[in-house]
Amino acid sequence: MNFKKEKKNKVNRYIGLLVIMVIIFGILINQMVSLQVINGAEYYNRANVEFIKNIDNQSPRGEILDREGRVLASSTQSYNLIYVDTIEVRKVLFKTMDKVRELLTQSNQEINDTLALKSEPFRFEFGSNDADYIKRSELRWKKDRGINDYLFLDVVSKETGKSKISDLNEKETDYLDELILAFTPTQTYHYLMKFYNLYEALDPTKEEKELFKKMDGEQIHEALLKEFDEETIRSYLLIKDNIKMESYSGSKAVTLVQNMTENSAFTFLHQLSGLPGIDVETNPIRIYPYETLGSHVIGYLNPIPEESKDHYEERGYDISKDYIGRSGIESMFEERLKGNKGVRTVEVDKNGRPTRELFELEPYPGNNIQLTLDANLQNTAERALEDMIINLSEENTKHSIAGYYQDSSNANRGAVVAIEVATGNVLALASYPKYDPNVFAVPGRLTDELYEEFFNPDYRGFAEELIQEKNVVTIDSITNTSRKATFDDLFRTQDDGRVIDPYDLYPKPLFNYATLGLAPPGSTFKLVTGLAALEEGVIGANTIINDRGAFVNDQIGT
């Protein structure tokens, strides 16, 4: 009897175990059916998204021509080095970039430095000396990299008790913006060390990764400095930032180097097998064959500014690498000149290398713009203007009628305009000092020295030289007596340390003095006073006035 009961219990256990196994296998089979049959297409598409990339085919900008059809601005083909990001490629990113930098160094080229955050010393550079523009650009730049979210959670949320930025009122939003702007370049640099997980460059173990995750950005930076120099660390940051910013506009290729030399391009083409994610493509680049000729009329190209990125992204621009007209004809006729870019949709292998083209939309070049300028006359006007300014700045000029000397050694700017009387067409429009727009259009041409000259000039050195050579004096507001001028009398230093030129003393190469310069009207105003005198009967058509250079009146003096 007990034997039968024990046997019955044993059978029941086997049945229970069998039921459990059936249930488990049923769940597994159900999941497999869900993965492979019901949702198979969806998961297949998700997997393929990682290996399908859109690569832009840039369209050449339209040409800018003078009245005779001479080409003042055109486009030419160049080579770009690009990086296509995939999961597999990402695993060896830093090793690949070390090889890329080594090959670029051998050909005397470097990765495009599009990162506004510079090092040694840490600072921001936004390609302008306008304080409001810099403020707006810095705010947008930091928000794009999550600093607003970081400061909201770290400070504002705790103070206001609100859980979302969208819940902040206007006053609280302004307070958050103030905190963002007060976040120093050094703090930003350290923040990005952690934001981009740059400790991965050290190839840490699983345990070491957990330790790094608990560190702040400054500690990660210190750990990196034990293995790499600052230039290398920033190059890693630059690459990670480019990849992140490009991800906002879809799975596109990241441009590492523009306008590579042909030899450098071929070097990389032969090394592609050992450079996962790296490829070489052709791309149009803007050139100005006459260099400085008509530069203030033609204008120049520059990357899309931070504050305008939303506007241009909505219009189909790739905000991470597209250039736009920033002044002159290039800016005024941006829509007509830019053309329509194409796109190639390709499948890539695990190394980011295109294996099959799925779709291609051909690019269309921009429209040409023909000006009324005559290149020959423009050249003559610019040379004459430059020669005159050089002559005036080297020696004093004597007025033969009045018989006195006038100091012209501070002549450092000027303009010439030639107009066709019958039509009103502008034949020449020259401004001095001038610049070469190729510096902005061709990556790598804008050196640190040129950047400083254009956007951060040495106002202090200029002021000291001016005061010393010209013996500049000013009236003391307290004693009402004259004294030697100082730097602060001529320039203004703002709270953030930036210097402004309120009296327009420093000659600015990018400023068009022919159209924007302020100067006394001089003899051109005689037309107005002469017409008024004729209408009032003060003078007649044949009245002669002997102008001896100075007007003396017994009541008002000279």
Query: What's the average model confidence in pLDDT over 411-419?
Result: 93
Tokens of 489: 């009398």
pLDDT-based confidence at 307, cuts 50/70/90?
confident
pLDDT digit string, tens, across residues 358-389: 888 888 899 999 999 999 999 999 999 999 99
- Total number of domains in the chain: 3
Most confident of 31-40, 243-252, 279-288: 279-288
Q: What pLDDT is stored for residue 127 in this prediction?
A: 78
How far the first Cα of the chain sits from its last, in Å, is 142
Task: Give yes or no: residues 471 and 380 share one domain.
Answer: yes
- Is residue 63 a contact partner of residue 73, using CB atoms and an 8 Å limit? yes
Task: Give yes or no: residues 36 and 127 share one domain.
Answer: no
For residue 168, tell me if it sits in a domain.
yes
Task: Give yes or no: residues 380 and 487 share one domain.
Answer: yes
Last residue of a domain, one of 484, 500, 516: 500
- Bridge partners, residue 259, by sequence: none
Query: What's the average model confidence in pLDDT over 135-158?
Result: 93
Q: What pLDDT is stored for residue 450 in this prediction?
A: 87
For residue 254, tell me if it sits in a domain.
no
Q: What pLDDT is stored for residue 557 in this prediction?
A: 47
Q: What pLDDT is stored for residue 321 in this prediction?
A: 77
Q: Taking 80 as the threshold, does the pLDDT of residue 349 lie above it?
A: no
For residue 361, tell me if it sits in a domain.
no
When mean pLDDT is compared across 19-23, 188-192, 230-234, 314-318, the lowest value belongs to 19-23
Query: What's the average model confidence in pLDDT over 328-344?
Result: 91
Rounded Cα gap, residues 498 and 54, in angstroms: 42
Name the packing angle between helices 93-106 and 230-247 (round to 10°).
Answer: 120
Rounded Cα gap, residues 137 and 118, in angstroms: 15
Q: What pLDDT is stored for residue 45 in this prediction?
A: 52
More confident residue, 498 or 372: 372
**Is the peptide bond between 433 and the residue preceding it cis, with omega within 30 degrees of 0?**
yes
For residue 320, tell me if it sits in a domain.
no
Q: Taking 80 as the threshold, does the pLDDT of residue 520 lie above it?
A: no
pLDDT-based confidence at 111, cuts 50/70/90?
confident
Q: What pLDDT is stored for residue 405 in this prediction?
A: 55
Last residue of a domain, one of 183, 207, 222: 183
When mean pLDDT is compared across 116-120, 215-219, 387-391, 521-525, the lowest value belongs to 521-525
Q: Taking 70 as the threshold, does the pLDDT of residue 41 lie above it?
A: no
For residue 350, tell me if it sits in a domain.
no
Distances (CA, A) of 522 to 380, 402, 541, 552: 24, 17, 22, 18
Q: What pLDDT is stored for residue 327 in this prediction?
A: 93
Rounded Cα gap, residues 63 and 27, in angstroms: 66
pLDDT digit string, tens, across residues 240-274: 998 888 776 665 678 888 888 888 899 999 998 88
When mean pLDDT is compared across 29-43, 73-87, 497-511, the lowest value belongs to 29-43
Q: What pLDDT is stored for residue 6 in this prediction?
A: 56
For residue 488, tell me if it sits in a domain.
yes
Q: What pLDDT is stored for residue 402 in this prediction?
A: 47
Q: Taking 90 as the threshold, does the pLDDT of residue 15 lie above it?
A: no
**One-letter-per-residue 3-state SS of 233-286:** HHHHHHHHHHHHHHHCCCCECEEEEEEECHHHHHHHHHHHHHCCCEEEEEEEEE
Query: What's the average model confidence in pLDDT over 73-87?
Result: 88
Q: What pLDDT is stored for residue 59 in this prediction?
A: 87
Percent of the chain at pLDDT > 90 equals: 43
Task: Give yes or no: residues 28 and 142 share one domain.
Answer: no
Query: What's the average model confidence in pLDDT over 113-127?
Result: 89
Q: What pLDDT is stored for residue 7 in this prediction?
A: 53
Domain ranges, residue 137: 123-183
Q: Where are the alpha helices (DSSP H) in 477-525?
A: 487-490
Q: What pLDDT is stored for residue 42 in this prediction?
A: 57
Task: Give yes or no: residues 380 and 495 share one domain.
Answer: yes
Q: What pLDDT is stored for residue 399 in this prediction?
A: 43
Specify the DSSP class assigned to residue 221: H
Task: Give yes or no: residues 489 and 383 share one domain.
Answer: yes
Cα dihedral 252, 258, 264, 267 in deg (nearest 10): 0
Task: Give yes or no: residues 34 and 131 share one domain.
Answer: no
Q: What pLDDT is stored for residue 242 in this prediction?
A: 87
Query: What's the average model confidence in pLDDT over 44-57?
Result: 62
Q: What pLDDT is stored for residue 130 in this prediction?
A: 77
Distances (CA, A) of 266 to 79, 157, 262, 279: 10, 54, 6, 11
pLDDT digit string, tens, across residues 162-220: 999 999 999 999 999 999 999 999 999 999 999 999 999 999 999 999 999 999 999 99
For residue 197, tell me if it sits in a domain.
no
Last residue of a domain, one of 500, 524, 552: 500
More confident residue, 460 or 30: 460
Tokens of 276: 């996962």
pLDDT-based confidence at 558, cuts 50/70/90?
very low
More confident residue, 556 or 103: 103
Q: What pLDDT is stored for residue 221 in this prediction?
A: 96
For residue 421, tell me if it sits in a domain.
yes
Tokens of 314: 């909505």
On average, the pLDDT of the chain sits at 85
